[in-house]
Copies of this chain bind each other. A is one copy, B any other.
Amino acid sequence: MEALATTPTASSADQTVFETEPARYQHWKLSIDNERANLVMAVDDEHPHKPGYELKLNSYDLSVDIELADAILRLRFEHPEIKVLVITAELDRVFCSGANIYMLGLSTHSFKVNFCKFTNETRLYLEDASASSGLASLAACKGTTAGGGYELALACDDIMLVDDGNSAVSFPETPLLAVLPGTGGLTRLVDKRRIRRDRADVFCTTAEGIKGKRAKDWGLVDDVVSRSKWDETVATRAKALAAKQTVTRGPAVKLPALAPKITDQAFTYGHVTLSFDRAARTGELVVRGPDKAGVVDLTSPDTWSLQAFRELDDALLRLRFDLPDIGMVTVRTVGDRSAVITHDEQLASATTGFAREIRLLQRRVLKRFDNTARSFYAVADRADSCFAGSLLELALGADRFYMLIDKDEAIGVALSVANAGFMTMATGLSRLEARFYGDAPRIQALLARKDAVIPSEEAEQLGLATVAADDIDFEDELRIAIEERASLSPDALTGMEQSLRFVGPETLETKIFGRLSAWQNWIFTRANSTGAHGALTLYGQPERPQFQWKRT
């Protein structure tokens, strides 16, 4: 613990710290070997996220997953030479035994759901790095690969399993714990790896899992390899994956610390502030635009487009985990619209991998925003309001957008290249396409007015704002809307927002957050898993679970 005295990675009772760096990892060892990175899972069982359980057998909790997310992010930005990430384990006979079950048993429902959401996002980031950034991944499973351990492997491009007569991949969640493999596992089995649904059914109800040739025949893994040929085969397969990568990243930049100031009223970053009123159960998120127009240093990690969105990401995670009662959040922007547009344009036209990485990060952060279970009302009510381009995405992604009509028409919105299709939601639609679903001509007409200011009243007529009102009505209307929203059942609002936000097509990603996670959330509330006699509750104890048998 000595090294942590001044820069805590562990979390205090009411604060979760999502920032870390490889030198401070407690659960992973990251090393670089030419074009290959090795990420060795070596979970320190004595350093769980919260006291009360031990992280035995490379089981994981939030603290482990925060480091994994950090490793993926840093490889993208700080190590552009890396083309393949090999994930292994330090234990000899265990790759990873999944999410720690005692941790799940001790956690509140709200924490369990947020934990699963975060781990799901991290696994999708592995896939995004492969699909968009020339960073493939190989899960080298030299031992037991169970539950969330196998779900981590499923998020990799290639899965190797050791053929030692013992090591299996498995999903014991349903037979042993009466819950689902909820970190994308069920969806990836049939949708990504296209395993036949009846075989997936057998696999998911066979607690001991499937090993050896059968695991390969069924498509559960890509190769089974003996211990004697293990290292050689890992090297060969990693090399083959690296050779396939065509996207290049770089130049390398070192990501600076975010260093927010955390108080009981606000989280304050350089460009982002999240303040909150615990009594009213409301919050206000403010994102400030770049300082001045025209100067965009696309070689610096301090560039606004990267730093502001990293801060926003951190604030959203803290909102999810540390402010569970803050259900209603207003979103404001401050700054110079043309400066945002300039940043968006330079980012879009830049040919460096670094610029692409920034846009991909912005896209992921905006997806995190879409998937945050809070009501968001965007508000433009100041002359220096700055809903332009990449910041306009926040208004398009919010549940509602309130705009004040001012005489000078200083308040308005502006589109940029950032709204033209790159910033897709999990559905694959841009936020404009989701807003005007199926109405391509209207979207084209809006994009044709790119860079120009659209004042509040017109923004409402064009469907960009939900409500535009003059100063006689605005304040009251907004205040009442916020109070009403904050008075509604948080559960019903989450379900409602999940249905209205994700219009249109579904993808593997939306199936994981919509279908799979919704069922898992339901199951987590059921007595058969989390009741006094439920399987999750009783795990590791001699008493056997007692089930209520009604099928629902």
Contacts and interface: CB of A to CB of B under 8 A. Distances in A.
A270 interface: no
Interface in A168-213: 173-175, 177-180, 186-187, 189-191, 194, 196-202, 204-205
A461 to B, nearest CB: 12
Contacts of A437: 190-191, 194
Contact of A492 (B189, B194, B529): B529
Interface stretch (A31-39, A122-130, A221-229, A504-512): A504-512
A535 B198 CA distance: 41
Nearest to A171: B496
A495 B466 contact: no
B552 A490 contact: yes
A535 B491 CA distance: 12
A376 to B, nearest CB: 10
A498 interface: yes
Given A196-B463, A201-B400, A515 B492 contact: no
Interface string A503-534: 11110001100111011111101101100000
B401 A205 contact: no
A506 B505 contact: yes
A435 interface: yes
A257 interface: no
Determine which residue in A499, A501, A549 has the highest number of CB atoms from chain B within 10 A of its CB, and name it: A499
A493 interface: yes
A445 interface: no
Interface stretch (A55-63, A107-115, A348-356): A107-115
A439 interface: yes
Contact of A499 (B399, B489, B519): B519
Contacts of A202: 400, 466
B528 A525 contact: no
Given A488-B178, A526-B525, A552-B490, A495 B520 contact: yes
Contacts of A201: 399-400, 466, 496-497, 500
A324 B400 contact: no
B488 A174 contact: yes
A346 interface: no
A438 B193 CA distance: 10
A551 interface: yes
Contacts of A174: 488-489, 492-493, 496
Nearest to A434: B197
Given A187-B499, A498-B515, A499-B180, A435 B492 contact: no
A318 interface: no
Contacts of A98: none
A173 B522 contact: no
A111 to B, nearest CB: 9
A510 B109 CA distance: 26
A373 interface: yes
Contacts of A399: 197-198, 201
Contacts of A522: 491, 495, 518, 521-522, 525
B194 A438 contact: yes
Contacts of A550: 108-110, 324-325, 490
Interface in A529-552: 529, 535, 545, 547-552
B197 A491 contact: no
19 contacts: A180-B492, A180-B495, A187-B499, A190-B437, A191-B503, A198-B466, A202-B466, A324-B549, A325-B550, A374-B551, A490-B547, A490-B550, A491-B526, A494-B519, A499-B515, A505-B506, A506-B506, A506-B510, A518-B521
The 10 closest A-B pairs by CB, nearest first: A518-B518, A178-B489, A495-B519, A506-B506, A186-B499, A522-B522, A514-B515, A190-B503, A198-B466, A489-B528
